[in-house]
Structure 1
Amino acid sequence: MATQVKLDFVGWTRSAVYSAVPSALLSPEGRLRGHVDVTLRNQLPPGDTVSHTIDFDVVGPGDILGLKAGTVLHMVPPPGTIDFEETKCVYAELSGVDLPWRYTPELAIGRTLRPWLVLVVGTETEVQLNAGGTVTLQNDVLAAHDLSLSARWAHVQDDVAHPGERMVTRLLSPRNLEARTTYVAVVVPAFNAVGVQAWNAATPSVTLPVFHAWSFITAEEGDFPTLAARLKAGLADPDLGRAQIAYTPIEPDALMTGRGALAPIGSADVAVAGDVAADVAELTIPVVDPLRPVVGLPDYGAAWTDDSGATAWGAAFLEDPRARGIGGLGLRAGIEEQDLLADAAAKQAGALDEAAQRIRHLTAGLGSARSLWARRLPIDPIRRLAVFGPALGRMVTDTGTVLRRVAGGDRPLPPALFSSAARRALRPGPARTAGAAKGAADPALILVTANACPIPPERAPKGLVHADDLAKQTGIRNIDDAVCKGVGAGRVPVERLEKLIDGFDRSPYRPGTVALFDQITRNLLERARNGEPIPLLDLLAILDPPTGRTLDERDLLVALRFLLGEKGHSDTDSLLDLGATLCIGPPERPCRPVDLDALATAVADAIDPTVDRPFMVDRVISGIIGLDDQPLTPPELCPDLDIPAWQFLRDHNSNWLLPGAGSLDEDDVVAVETNPAFVDAFLLGVNTQIVSELRFRNIPIRSRCTPLRQFWARTNPATETYDDDIRGVHLWPDSSPLGSITHQTPAAASADLVVVFRTPLFRRYPQTLVYLTPAPLVGGTPDWAAEPVFANRLMPSFQGAITPDIVFFGFDLDPSLGRRHWVVLEEPPHGFQFFSGPVEGMSAARREVFTKPLLHNDGAAFGDAAFADPYRVMIRGQSLIPVGP
């Protein structure tokens, strides 16, 4: 299986400063020594230069006291791991890309450069951590880490698609690990303080500074590739999935075979012998004693049908001991798991008691309300409205409560009139009504009276003359009205201006002056009619001089020429703006009376308890989920228990899950199929018991309910839930036998292909991905040499484990079609890993890197060869499934 990214490995990288180091000779302090030529040039005067060679020391391992916190970014395996694969390398990822070679007191030779830091892995006796930040390494672990080959133990990983952007630097340990062993990993310097190699193969022990340390435990022997490589495909034994049954009530014992929940592909149960069927029929006849009830054999259909013996599926329990035995297995499982099942049903019942209480209160309230409605409610609609008044504040509409819509604001009705206090105050009684006028306390009359809009107040108190009346009597136009009229129209009141022009005394003036006057005033009057601005104040100075004295002819001509020359200032817009601030109309007092008859009718219709479905029914029922189509009856529960019944079979009668599973050899892979008839019989037994148990525990179960309809726990990715295997038993057709497709849900229709593995692989790697993918067809025949299209994969619909080493995966596929598919296992991803030695299937070129280390003494070659690609194992379906039954 190809990795998601294409990787490249680099053996070493470090600063260009080492290019200035001419040789690998060290200073007494263990440092490399370099030099650079420096030339200084003087620009004034030009050409004045001085050159000098500057020697310098490069920081060496002896100068380093430790690593900063966070330098080690990632450890494999993580600290505390208890199941690390012994075939993989331990490694640590560092924050600095060049850190492993940054202080190496050596120069690179081609692709080879030993790091100054190394990762050493040993047992707790080989690696002893001391106080003070040191570690003592014994000879065994030193010999396993030959420093002459340490250039192989560090590399830089790069992403070919993004060079330089995703670089990772690692220190690896080449140590071959043992299974089930505790190890300690330490990061230590490979050179001592004077730059000399810290140990060699003959060193008995050495104590070094420890820069980082952690511990882990390896798993048992084998990794995913080795375990997967041991898998062997084979045809299932004909007896796998069948069990021998002896029927002992007759002599001699009748022998027969019965299929388990998983059975051979294409198999079927042989019909039961006639003498056995007759004996079972006799044993299952109910015993009737007129004096006392007699406990007989269970009736596996009584909870769903009046006469189960009249159905094809129920008749099997009256003649086939295998059906009764499987039903008995389910019945026993229901007894053994009754607390689990009852608790699950009780959780689903949830607030069943509270729901029943609400419904009881609802029905009692409906009865009382209907009686009061018929006997006590007034016939007159408005008197009814008075009765409903205190409730209007609790009646909600889309735009607020009814009370808010009909009272207050622009409504004449005050909200307090509908309060319960008002109802008490208006209630008939001597203390309240003895001195009242007739009808004064009648709620209906009060509502009608209060619903009238108030009469507008008079413009002047009685006995006083209003300014408008005075203007009318004297013939003077009220200035308020004139100003407001002009402001409202947005123009000068033309009729008033026209009267002033017509009333102008022209007699003192010559005809030519009068003609000029008429021409100018007509023009201004026409402009005023069109709403255009005019010099109103200049015109009024002619028509109504502020001095009250008539203009002489000379002054009149001057004023007219002023207007004629358009020198007059157009001021009407400013005057209208001023008038808008002076024109204050009376305050608006909107008043919208309520149609009391319509309101009373609408409220009565909304709360009438005598209709077929009063509103309070919907209001109460809407808060209860799961009621049937008779919501006012005491609620009953039909729980949908999301529990896979196959686990009951595994826990209490595992031999019947896959009879003969224990005979499978280690690393066997076989194919079988589900047995719908077994599933039907087993679930009938479980449900027979659980329905009785739930009723015994006073959990109200709906009649003909099938609480447990799930056997295999089929996953539904679309809904992220589990699909049922069977429909409710009451839906089974009378003419259908056990295992009929009519009993199954669409998700479980017909038998399914099941692949069974006996291997420790899934116990070690529980996240292993298993799926089917079709092989390319050539002329209708699978071409096993062609590359399959993995995008067309079929994932398991259910899976489980019979024992820790026997696991199965079920696929929603006709078992016969499995011959055209690959069975694929993919190694679960667990980050980047590196083999510590050659493994099965590794190419010769990669093997040579391990077998000839001196020829490949660089980190890039080792990282590339040791990189552990995730494995994909593929098994041909035709090797698992026979051609015919």
Structure 2
Amino acid sequence: MDESVMSQDPATLAFLPWLRRGISTGITAGSPDPGRAALDVTLAFNGDREVSAPIALYGPGEVAGINPRSIIRTYPQPEVHDAECNYFPLIEFDQPDFPWRYTPAAPVNNRLHPWLVLIALTDNEIVGAKAAGADGHLPWIQVASAGSLPQLTQSWAWAHVQITGLEENGDEEVADVVDQQPDRAPSRLLCPRHLQPHTAYTVCLVPAFNRGRLAGLGEAIGVDEVRYHSAQPSWWQGVTSVKLPVYYQWRFQTGAAGDFESLTRQLLPPKQLPAGVGRRQMDVSVPGPELPPAAEAPMALEGALISLTEPDSTETQDKVFNKSLHERLNVPTAMLDSGETRVVAPPLYGRWHAARDRIPSVDHPWFDTLNSDLRHRTMAGLGTRVVQKLQQELMAEAWDQVEGVLEINEQIRETQLAAAVTQRLHERHFETQDELTLLFITEPLHGQVQADRQTVRQTLRQNPPVRGLLEGQFRRISRPLGPIRTRQRRLPEPEETTSSIPSEGSTVSGESGLLMGLIEGERTFPRGGGKMRGSATLASVADHLQKPDTSDAATLILLQGLREGKLSEEIIMQAPVNPDFQPTEETPVPKEWAGTESEWTQELATRKRQEIAHIFGSIDAQSPSTPSTGEGPLPPEPLSREPLEIHLLRDTILAATDPAQTILLPLTKRLTTAEWVEWDPAKHPGEQLMVAPEIDRPMYEPLQELSQEWLLPGVSQIPPNTVSLLKTNRKFIESYMAGLNHEMARELLWHEYPTDQRGTCFRQFWDVSGYMGPQPAGGLKDIRPIHMWGKSELGGNACQQTTDGEQVVLLVRGELLRHYPNTIIYVQKAMLKDENGPSVAEGGIGDENPGEENKKSPLFFGRLAPDIFFAGFALSQQEARGDGESMDQEQQGWYFVLQEQPTEPHFGLDAAGEHFGTELEPPGNWRDLSWGHLVDNAEALQEMSNIDLDQLDSSLLPNEGQGAEWHAHNGSLGSDLALITLQAPLRALIHGSDMLPPEKEGS
């Protein structure tokens, strides 16, 4: 089609009167086939011969039904019982060309009739009907008179294509949208029926051409008769009865007369709430057994929402009562400290979160206020009632959140047991061993234990003698129960035993002493046959032994068991010595002698076992004797080797095999927990998981189920069609939430839930699921975790802080939000338009878009029976009011906006008022056109069925023409009618100061 005839809404929508795609764009008038549309097609053969032939296209006579999935929207929705009377029923398709795809004609003057139309009929206008049969035929209806059907000669006016999001409105852009993004170009059929209030209607999609009607009914289609021609309509005006097949149908019922605009006007002007809304009186003269009166007069018990017209409560409790209440609340702790029998007493709400068990508590003022003031204790008690009522649901939700925690804790307990048992084994069999034995035992682990910058195995490899001692061959030779070690420990026969029996397993200077002697950097090498210190031979020992009181034979037998290498320092010290024996101090040999072979370590590995045994018993490499003859000169720079810290290796191995590192720590590293789980395995590796579930449901709802009076006292006194402002009561919310969490902590403990009772399970009071704005800095939770309240006052623990600590709440009672539940609600910052006052456009009702800047979405939404809606904003009372005398742009307050949903356009005319026809002023623009402009009186409107464009007043034009034609004789198009009847989404703007009580002088 020609996009130059497109009609465009100034906002975001554009309309096309018709659209065709593919081969159907070639259809021209004058088809030779009276039953179908045809077009000439020219084909070329072999590049030089062309043949032309007419091709007949499928038309409505070949359509046996449509796919319901191609329908994307209907209005009103099926089975609605309160539809607006001033809007047109409509149906939308997901294919832009669908209404004209099978039309067997060409457009005339940019008007193209669709091949199907939408009709709406009352129950008494349908005199017969039949459902779809098993033979595949469509369902049909019998219409009593064609007078209740729209004019088929005007069907072109009630079909169009809508295109959204055009930027330049060019032909190429339109073509791209249709071809590449058809979801932005739905096609639509309107039914120009005037609906009566409180009336049921059946809307049907039926064929517009007679061949389609006959095909749908399953009747035979002739060829020669005129009534079978493709261009013949399904009905003519004046026909008494029409039988029509139905492609698609649904039912709805209208409600009372009124649309979004009329229902919004019923809310204006704003009304002040009646006195007493938001609070009620509580009798505290008899607070409980053995307690004095809390106050002489009743105290005001406020709800979660407070009226702004009521003054702040100033009542206080009697000091004598406060003292008595504190004593009563502290009784359990006093009895527990003294060891007396426990008793049931009133709860201290929040005791586990505050880690306090008595009041007053100087460093937790919120804790004292919550438990001392009867009003706040009442609110906390409501939280207790809610948890007790919902305990099964809440515990089920809590267990679902910590699935697997019990199994994990069982693993931790089993691991702790394994670690405890292994720790005892570690202490008995590892920590008691000397360095060499510990290295023997742990040799397979040396490659996995880090010692400084390298492994233990690598460290030992740099000391070949020690490495040789740990080789498997040597370990087999020197094993404690092997033949060599067994012979070394063999004792004399019992009858030859003397009182000087050497202790079993004794060695010279201990095994570690031998090992120390083999460490690189500590070895010294004697030269010239010098004597060694620290070892003994049988001859040297025998020279100094005093003859015992036994036979010489026994002594010799004993000495035969003392082989070289078996005399330890302990044996020598126990032996009786010659009193003339004097030890001599010998000069130690230097660490390195000139000419010493540097390949000594390799020679050691090749010696015979007898020589190794001799080394074990004879060498003390720390301090060899001074050689008897001669000394070699030292080299100018003695060789320097860094000694091996063998005791540090022992400590490293013991630390690496500690069960806390090998059993507990690996388990905690394998476990991953959610972010909200507080667990620090680094500080307490064996500590079990203690968690608190997070229950995100808005907890005002179960409170509302107890009674709406707890949420908003006096709610039943609010008159219909009221719009006003309230504010939240932070002290009520925090007291109630503290009671919820206190009782939930008791439930968790009772059900053996893994918790320390300090977690905050409930932090959401209001319903924030509909919030559409950016994430606030403090999040959307209503309270901070209770254990973080610390030294704050009750009422000062909100995540979202305003200047006065409270949030303003818009309250609406009326038919508007019940009838339009998808109404968009937000606040728009007022700006100075001129010296006359603030404006965002002008306050009131209109369709002007105030822009996206300085908007705020509601933080939470809620509903109260039967028809009350409220929405809370992050605004204080003063911010909403503004300063009417200030010229500062930031002090102009805020508008509260009620906006019709723009994503679902409606079509129709404004509802008629008290005046009709010539009594009305011409509309200011097409959007002000009403049903009253079409008729002269209310009776004529009552009798109207469908709009007849030929009967309209051609002189009826708006004062501000928009280029669209209204009368058919003036060349109007389907796109014009779409633009004229489009009901743009309206906005009602109400300034905050209009809903607030007057400011007090000096405030």
Question: Is TM-score (shorter-chain normalized) higher than 0.5?
Answer: yes
Structure 1 counterpart of 2:235, from 196, 199, 206: 199
Aligned mates of 2:858, 2:688 — CA distance in 1: 42
- Asked if 1:139 is matched to 2:176, the reply is no
Aligned pairs for 1:798-809 (under 5 A) are 798-803=860-865, 805-809=867-871
Aligned mates of 1:320, 1:184 — CA distance in 2: 63
Match of 1:540 in 2: none
Structure 2 counterpart of 1:680, from 734, 744, 747: 734
CA offsets, 1:212-266, max 9 Å, x none?
A: 3253546866665554454433333342212233345369983343221111238
Match of 1:170 in 2: 187
2:277–2:306 CA contact under 8 A, matched in 1: yes
- Aligned CA distance change for structure 1 residues 789 and 202 (closer, same or farther; 3 Å): closer
- Aligned CA distance change for structure 1 residues 170 and 601 (closer, same or farther; 3 Å): same
- Asked if 1:10 is matched to 2:82, the reply is no
- Aligned CA distance change for structure 1 residues 606 and 800 (closer, same or farther; 3 Å): farther
The higher-RCO structure (CA 8 Å, 6+ apart) is: 1
Out of 170-179 and 76-85, give the one that drifted further. Answer: 76-85
Aligned mates of 2:386, 2:346 — CA distance in 1: 17
Structure 1 counterpart of 2:668, from 621, 643, 646: 621
TM-score (ref. length: structure 2): 0.59
Aligned pairs for 1:450-849 (under 5 A) are 600=649, 604=653, 607=656, 609=658, 614=661, 617-622=664-669, 623=671, 625-627=677-679, 630=684, 632-633=686-687, 635-702=689-756, 705-712=759-766, 717=775, 722-728=780-786, 731-733=789-791, 737-739=793-795, 741=796, 743-745=797-799, 750-763=805-818, 765-777=820-832, 782-785=838-841, 788-803=850-865, 805-819=867-881, 820-831=893-904, 833-839=905-911, 844-846=925-927
2:348–2:357 CA contact under 8 A, matched in 1: no
- Asked if 1:155 is matched to 2:211, the reply is no
- Give the AA of the match of 1:619: P
CA offsets, 1:686-745, max 9 Å, x none?
A: 233223332222335426555434433567836997424144257442xx6532x2x444
SS in 2 for 1:665: coil
Match of 2:207 in 1: 188
- Give the AA of the match of 1:9: L
2:480–2:486 CA contact under 8 A, matched in 1: no
Q: CA deviation at 1:424?
A: 10
Q: CA deviation at 1:675?
A: 0.8
Q: CA deviation at 1:835?
A: 1.5
2:118–2:203 CA contact under 8 A, matched in 1: no
Q: Name the Cα RMSD after superposition.
A: 5.6
CA offsets, 1:267-313, max 9 Å, x none?
A: 55433366x66557656752979997554443335443232235554
Match of 1:324 in 2: 377
- Aligned CA distance change for structure 1 residues 215 and 6 (closer, same or farther; 3 Å): closer
SS in 2 for 1:782: strand
SS in 2 for 1:163: helix
Q: CA deviation at 1:681?
A: 2.3
SS in 2 for 1:237: coil
SS in 1 for 2:175: coil
2:281–2:301 CA contact under 8 A, matched in 1: yes
- Aligned CA distance change for structure 1 residues 277 and 760 (closer, same or farther; 3 Å): farther
SS in 1 for 2:210: coil
Q: CA deviation at 1:333?
A: 1.9
Q: CA deviation at 1:824?
A: 2.0
Match of 2:301 in 1: 258
SS in 2 for 1:770: strand
- Give the AA of the match of 2:70: L
Match of 2:593 in 1: none
Aligned pairs for 1:355-504 (under 5 A) are 355-376=408-429, 377=431, 380-381=434-435, 383-391=437-445, 428-429=480-481
- Aligned CA distance change for structure 1 residues 422 and 378 (closer, same or farther; 3 Å): farther
Match of 2:282 in 1: 245
- Asked if 1:337 is matched to 2:390, the reply is yes
Aligned mates of 1:884, 1:853 — CA distance in 2: 56
Aligned mates of 2:471, 2:10 — CA distance in 1: 78
Structure 1 counterpart of 2:349, from 300, 306, 311: 300
2:150–2:192 CA contact under 8 A, matched in 1: yes
Aligned residues: 721
- Give the AA of the match of 1:235: Q
Q: CA deviation at 1:22?
A: 7.8
Match of 1:543 in 2: none
SS in 2 for 1:299: coil
Aligned mates of 1:413, 1:803 — CA distance in 2: 88
CA offsets, 1:786-815, max 9 Å, x none?
A: 684422211222222233632221112212
Q: CA deviation at 1:657?
A: 0.8
Aligned mates of 1:128, 1:138 — CA distance in 2: 9
1:674–1:754 CA contact under 8 A, matched in 2: yes
Q: CA deviation at 1:655?
A: 0.7
Q: CA deviation at 1:615?
A: 6.8
Aligned mates of 1:702, 1:72 — CA distance in 2: 55
1:185–1:215 CA contact under 8 A, matched in 2: yes
Q: CA deviation at 1:775?
A: 0.6
Identity %: 22
- Aligned CA distance change for structure 1 residues 596 and 239 (closer, same or farther; 3 Å): same
Aligned mates of 2:361, 2:68 — CA distance in 1: 78
1:755–1:808 CA contact under 8 A, matched in 2: yes
2:114–2:156 CA contact under 8 A, matched in 1: yes
SS in 1 for 2:653: helix
Q: CA deviation at 1:642?
A: 3.3
Aligned mates of 1:353, 1:35 — CA distance in 2: 80
1:406–1:413 CA contact under 8 A, matched in 2: no
Aligned mates of 1:17, 1:357 — CA distance in 2: 74
SS in 2 for 1:235: coil
Match of 2:499 in 1: none
Q: CA deviation at 1:406?
A: 9.5
- Aligned CA distance change for structure 1 residues 199 and 220 (closer, same or farther; 3 Å): same
Aligned mates of 1:425, 1:68 — CA distance in 2: 98
TM-score (ref. length: structure 1): 0.66
- Give the AA of the match of 1:119: L
- Give the AA of the match of 2:303: G
**What runs of 5+ residues in structure 2 fail to find an aligned partner?**
1-7, 43-47, 179-184, 212-227, 287-292, 490-504, 521-598, 604-643, 843-848, 882-892, 914-922, 935-947, 951-966
Q: CA deviation at 1:859?
A: 1.6
- Aligned CA distance change for structure 1 residues 677 and 28 (closer, same or farther; 3 Å): closer
- Aligned CA distance change for structure 1 residues 31 and 797 (closer, same or farther; 3 Å): closer
Structure 2 counterpart of 1:65, from 53, 62, 65: 62
- Aligned CA distance change for structure 1 residues 135 and 3 (closer, same or farther; 3 Å): farther
SS in 2 for 1:164: helix
SS in 1 for 2:975: helix
Aligned pairs for 1:57-96 (under 5 A) are 64-66=61-63, 73-77=70-74, 81-83=78-80, 85=83, 87-93=87-93, 95=95
CA offsets, 1:20-78, max 9 Å, x none?
A: 9787xx979467899999xxxxx9xxxxxxxxxx997976957x311797698334229
Aligned mates of 2:693, 2:53 — CA distance in 1: 87
- Give the AA of the match of 1:237: P
- Give the AA of the match of 1:198: S
Aligned mates of 1:785, 1:685 — CA distance in 2: 47
- Give the AA of the match of 1:799: F
- Give the AA of the match of 2:391: Q
Aligned mates of 1:209, 1:663 — CA distance in 2: 54
CA offsets, 1:583-616, max 9 Å, x none?
A: xxxxxxxxxxxx9969945852651539xx8575
Match of 1:853 in 2: 949
Match of 2:577 in 1: none
Match of 2:609 in 1: none
